[in-house]
A = this chain, B = another copy of it.
Amino acid sequence: MTLDPPWQPPAWELDPSQPLYEQIAHRIRVEIAASRLPGGTRLPSVRDLAASLRVTPNTVMRAYAELEQDGLLETFRGQGTFVARSSGVEARAQARIARQALEHVRRVAADLGMRVEDLLRLGAEAGGGEDDDAGSHRV
C-alpha cells in the first residue's frame, strides 16, 4: 500500500541566491515548528518534490538528510520519509528556530553595546513600519 497520500507542500518560490537545499530544509522545519506537519506525516518522495520544485532529486535528498540529522524526520527505505514520531518534534523545531533568532539579536545588540529591547525598539522607530511597538520592556 502507498499508505497515506503524502503531504502537499504549498507553492514555494526558491531564491536562487541562497542554497536551495537550505531553503527547502528551512521551509519544512518551519512547517513542523508551526504544527502544520504533525509527527508521522508522510513527505513527498524525493523525486516528486524535486520535480515540483524544478530541482534535482539530489538537492531534495540533501535537505531531507539535514532534517533527519536534526531528528525532525525519519526515513524508511522503500516506504518514504516521515515527520519523526518522537514526542515533541514541533517543540524541538520551535526551540531551535527560536534559540537561533534570540542568539542573533543578542549578538547584534552586543555588537552595538545595547540591550536587546533597545535594539528592537530602535529598529521599530527606524522605518520598521508594521505594528509591534518593540519595547520599553525587558527582553
Contact = CB atoms under 8 A, between A and B. Distances in A.
Given A128-B103, A137-B139, A33 B112 contact: yes
Interface of A: 30, 33-34, 94-106, 108-109, 111-113, 115-117, 119-120, 122-128, 130, 132-139
Query: Can you tell how many copies of this chain the complex includes?
Result: 2
Given A104-B101, A135-B139, A138-B133, A120 B127 contact: no
Contacts of A119: 98, 101-102
A82 B108 CA distance: 24
A135 B138 CA distance: 6
Contacts of A115: 132
Contact of A98 (B95, B113, B126): B126
Contact of A123 (B33, B99, B113, B127): B99
A97 B120 contact: no
Nearest to A101: B108
Nearest to A137: B137
Given A99-B127, A111-B30, A113-B34, A94 B106 contact: no
A130 B106 CA distance: 10
